[in-house]
Amino acid sequence: MQQLLPFLLAPWLLTAAHANPFETTLQNGLRIIVKEDHRAPTAVQMVWYRVGSIDEVDGASGVAHVLEHMMFKGTPSVGPGEFNKRVAAAGGKDNAFTSRDYTAYFQQVPKEKLADVMQLEADRMRHLNVDAKEFAQEIKVVMEERRMRTDDAPEAKLFEQMNAVAFQAHPYRRPVIGWMSDLEQMTAADAKAWYDTWYVPNNAYVVISGDVEHAEVFALAEQYYGRLEGRDLPRRKSQIEPQQEGERRITVKAPAELPVLIMGYKAPVLRDVEKESEPYALEMLASVLDGHDAARFNKKLVREDKVALEIGIEYEATARGPGMFYFSGTPSEGHTVADLEAAIRAEIARVQKEGISEAELKRARAQLVASQVYKLDSMFGQAMEIGQTESAGISYRQIERMLDKLQKVTAAEVQAAARKYFTDDRLTVGSLDPQPLDSKPRRSAFATRH
C-alpha cells in the first residue's frame, strides 16, 4: 500500500484526479481502466488475469507460471515467437509476470502503436495454441529459471521452504514457480486445461496508462476485445489456513558465506477499506521501523548496535490470501542469527510496550506524501498500482480513501496491532545455515553468543 497515490495530497492534480482514471466494462465482462498521462508520447498496456498460484492444486504447482511462458507460443494467426517480434518491430518492449494472486502481461510502446498491441493481446486471450513440441522446449526453460531463481539462490530457497512451513493448508505454501518434481511431470495438457479454464474476458481486466484518450481506447477495446466470448468460471473455494498453535522453525543449509534470518508473523490483510484499521496500522509500523535510512531498524540494529549487516521488512497490506509480516536480515561479523533474532524481538517488544512517537508517525506521513508525487514519474508504476490493487479485490477507486486512512493511523493503533499480531503463536522462523564451498572451516551461524 506504500505504492498508492493520494491525489488528495497533491492539490495541483485535483482536477485530473476526479476524472482520471476512466473505466468501462465490455459486454463480455472485460473491464478496461485507462489512466491518462500526457507527459510523453508513450503508452503502457497491462492485461491482468485473476489467476495465480493460489488457484493451483497439489501436483501441478507452477502451472500458472508455465502458462505465462506458453502465452508467447502463438495462435492460429500469430506464429510462435511472433508476438515478441511484432512488439519489437513496433519499437516496444513486453514481458509478463506471475504471482500468487494474478498473472499479468504488459507492453510499453510508442502511443501510436497501442492499437497493435491491443489486437495482439485480444488474440491470445482466447485463441492460444498450446503445442506439445513447444511445451517440451519451454518447460526446460522454466526449470532453468527455477534453478537460477531458487535452487542456486540461498535466500530464495530459505524463503520458499519457510513459507511451506508457515502455511500448511493454504495454497500460499506452494512456490509460484512450482516444485521441481511438478515441473518435471507437467504436460502440455495441464497448461491447456489451465488456459481453457481461466483465460476468459470476464476473468481479466485491462489497464492502460499513458498519452492516450480514454474514449479512443474504449473504442479500440470494443473492437478487439469486444468480440471475445465470456464463459462461466469454476467456483473458487475459500481455503482457510488452520489456526497456528505455536511457533514454527526451519533451517536450510546451502552454500553461502552469510547466514540469513527470516521471521514471519501471520498478519491481517485489507478486505474492507472502510471498516478495517489494522492493516493500515501495520503499514505505518513497517515505515517507522524500516521505511527510510533514519528508521528504527537501520538506525539501531545496523548503525548503532551493529548486530545486523542489513535488515528489512516486507508487508503487503492487500492480497487474495492470508497475510504475513516478514522481518529479515543478516547478522554482522561476530553475531549469530540468534543474536539478530533477539535484537528484532527486543525492538518488537519496545513497540508493544512503549509504542511509537508522534514524531515518527509524522515522518512516515511525510514519506508517504512525497512518494505519491515521485510515483507519478513512472507510467508503468501507475498502471502497476491500479492492477495490483484490483488483483486483491479492491477497486482502484478506493486507493485515495486507503491513503486517507493511512494518514490517519494513530500511535495507539500501531501499538495495539503490534501487541495483537507479533506473538510467538503466529511466528515462523527460518534460518539459512551457510555451508562452505570446500572443506575449509568457517564460523558457525548457530554458535552461542561470543
Partner 1 sequence: MSLKKLLTAALAFFAMQLAEAGVAIEHWVTPAGARVYFVASRVLPMLDVQVDFAAGSMFDPAGKSGLAALTRAALDLGAGSRDESEIAEQLADLGATLAGGADTDRASISLRTLSALDKRGEALDVLRAVLQAPRFDAAIVAREQARTIASLKDAATRPDAIAGKAFWAAMYPKHPYGRQATPESVATLSREDLIAFHARYYNAANATITLVGDLSRAEAEEIAELLAAGLPQGEAAVLPAPPQKVRGSVTKIAHPASQAHVYIGLPAVERGNPDYFPLLVGNYTLGGGGFVSRLMQEVREKRGYAYSVYSYFSPLRQAGPFQIGLQTKGSQARAASRLARDVLEGFLKVGPSEEELAAAKANLSGSFPLRLDSNKKLLDNVAALGFYGLPLDYLEQYQAKVQAVTVDQVKQAFFRHVKPVDLMTVTVAGE
Q: Catalogue the active-site residues.
A: 68
Closer residue to partner 1 (CB): 28 or 161: 161
**The binder of partner 1 chosen from 58, 140, 393, 408 (CB under 8 A):** 140
Answer yes or no whether residue 137 interacts with partner 1 by CB under 8 A: yes
CB within 8 Å of 246: residues ≥ 6 apart: 424, 425
Answer yes or no whether residue 258 interacts with partner 1 by CB under 8 A: yes
Answer yes or no whether residue 378 interacts with partner 1 by CB under 8 A: yes
Closer residue to partner 1 (CB): 24 or 367: 367
**The binder of partner 1 chosen from 219, 309, 342, 416 (CB under 8 A):** 309
Rounded Cα–Cα distance for residues 238 and 243 (Å): 15
**Residue 397 corresponds to which cell in the numbers above?**
477507486
Answer yes or no whether residue 79 interacts with partner 1 by CB under 8 A: no
**The binder of partner 1 chosen from 59, 79, 91, 393 (CB under 8 A):** 91
Rounded Cα–Cα distance for residues 69 and 130 (Å): 11
**The binder of partner 1 chosen from 239, 437, 444, 446 (CB under 8 A):** 437
Answer yes or no whether residue 133 interacts with partner 1 by CB under 8 A: no
Answer yes or no whether residue 371 interacts with partner 1 by CB under 8 A: yes
**The binder of partner 1 chosen from 169, 240, 294, 412 (CB under 8 A):** 294
**The binder of partner 1 chosen from 24, 277, 367, 398 (CB under 8 A):** 367
Answer yes or no whether residue 20 interacts with partner 1 by CB under 8 A: no
Closer residue to partner 1 (CB): 135 or 198: 135
Rounded Cα–Cα distance for residues 392 and 102 (Å): 9
**The binder of partner 1 chosen from 374, 441, 448, 450 (CB under 8 A):** 374
CA neighbor of 186 nearest in space, from 100, 55, 60: 60
The CB-of-138 to partner 1 minimum distance in angstroms stands at 7
Answer yes or no whether residue 255 interacts with partner 1 by CB under 8 A: yes
**Residue 286 corresponds to which cell in the numbers above?**
513497517
Q: In what order do the strands lie in the sheet with 323-331?
A: 248-255, 427-435, 260-267, 323-331, 308-315
What is the DSSP annotation of 298-349? IIIIIIIS--EEEEEEEE-S--SS-EEEEEEEEEPTT--HHHHHHHHHHHHH
Rounded Cα–Cα distance for residues 23 and 31 (Å): 7
Rounded Cα–Cα distance for residues 143 and 159 (Å): 18
CA neighbor of 287 nearest in space, from 2, 93, 22, 16: 2
Inter-residue contact 101 to 83 (CB < 8 Å): no
Closer residue to partner 1 (CB): 163 or 287: 287
Closer residue to partner 1 (CB): 49 or 72: 72
Answer yes or no whether residue 108 interacts with partner 1 by CB under 8 A: yes
Query: Which residue type does 327 have?
Result: F
Rounded Cα–Cα distance for residues 302 and 310 (Å): 6
CA distances in angstroms from 3 to 179, 192, 312, 328, 406, listed in the order given: 31, 35, 17, 21, 12
**The binder of partner 1 chosen from 14, 15, 27, 93 (CB under 8 A):** 93
Closer residue to partner 1 (CB): 250 or 376: 376
**The binder of partner 1 chosen from 14, 132, 147, 196 (CB under 8 A):** 147
* Torsion, Cα of 59, 61, 65, 66 (10° steps): -20
For residues 322-341, which are near partner 1 according to CB under 8 A? 330, 332-333
Element (H, E) at 262: strand 260-267
Answer yes or no whether residue 9 interacts with partner 1 by CB under 8 A: no
Q: By CB under 8 A, which span of 184-192, 228-236, 377-385, 412-420 interacts with partner 1?
A: 377-385
Inter-residue contact 17 to 7 (CB < 8 Å): yes
For residues 153-192, which are near partner 1 according to CB under 8 A? none
**Residue 128 corresponds to which cell in the numbers above?**
492460444
**The binder of partner 1 chosen from 215, 370, 412, 447 (CB under 8 A):** 370
Please work out, in degrees rounded to the nearest 5, the angle formed at the alpha carbon of residue 126 by the alpha carbons of 122 and 130: 120
Give the count of residues interacting with partner 1 (CB under 8 A): 68
Handedness of CA 430, 422, 1, 387 (dihedral sign): positive
Answer yes or no whether residue 393 interacts with partner 1 by CB under 8 A: no
The CB-of-372 to partner 1 minimum distance in angstroms stands at 9
Angle between helical axes of 114-126 and 82-89 (0-180°, round to 10): 170
Chain residues in the site for partner 1 (CB under 8 A)? 10, 12, 39-42, 72, 81, 84-85, 88-93, 108-111, 113, 136-145, 147-148, 151-152, 255-258, 291-295, 298-299, 303, 306, 309-310, 330, 332-333, 362-363, 366-367, 369-371, 373-374, 376-379, 434, 437
